[in-house]
Amino acid sequence: MAFSDRVEPTEDNSEFVTLTDVVPDVILEIRYYGTYNFVGTRIDGYMEPTALLTRKAAERLKAVSDDVMAQGYRLKIYDAYRPQMGVDHFVRWSLDVPDTLMRTYFYSDLDKSVLFEQLYIMEKSGHTRGSTVDLTLFDMATEKEVDMGGTFDWFGVESHPDFCGNPETGEYNPDDDRSPVGRTITEEQFKNRMILRQVMLRHGFKPLESEWWHFTLDDEPFKDTYFTFPVKQIKR
């Protein structure tokens, strides 16, 4: 992903909201507040297990939530706004090559030394601009997460939206052979990814080509601003 060279850091959170104040039906599993993430520790700047977004993105996500609830799902949020100090934590971790505590769960096919050069870890993140969200679907009938055929934050081609299919046409392709160890996903898993993708597109979010769970508001209000305030409840 290309980022603007005009980086304007700020602690001003006046245009942000606590997501659950706008979208009360979301389920939160804020991975970077806990230890089940690719680093294996709480990430800097995550002071509370909550999700923040710009007001504009939160209001658009409310429309997404209403849409999926009518289909029998709820949204489950893994990450939303991410402070720059959290991104900096990722960069420091990526340069500490011997620290591979969580490799089995998130990057077993890769040597950690390539994560930065292959852009799995970057010095800037769209999350820090406040209108990007990582999420999945929760099935209200089964009371389980919808099976997407892979875990959030898996570093590999298996996380790409076009893995085993064409996201533009919705056509499944079981013969996709890009997985380095021969992994695949089923037609149902691919279609589940497409359900999430299509509802996000309908309500003005754009996808990322390398992560099925990652979406950014197409007309995000702060394209060149990287925020620095920590993740904790915003009270007006």
Cβ burial, residue 114 (10 Å; 0-12/13-18/19+): middle
Domain boundaries, the chain: 8-227
**3-state SS assignment for residue 94:** helix
CA distance 127 to 134: 9
pTM over 0.75: yes
211-184-165 Cα angle (round to 5): 60
- Output the tens digit of pLDDT for each of the chain's 236 residues: 333 344 567 899 999 999 999 999 999 999 999 999 999 999 999 999 999 999 999 999 999 999 999 999 999 999 999 999 999 999 999 999 999 999 999 999 999 999 999 999 999 999 999 999 999 999 999 999 999 999 999 999 999 999 999 999 999 999 999 999 999 999 999 999 999 999 999 999 999 999 999 999 999 999 999 999 999 999 87
Q: CATH number for 8-227: choose from 3.40.50.10800, 3.30.1380.10, 3.40.50.300, 3.30.530.20.
A: 3.30.1380.10
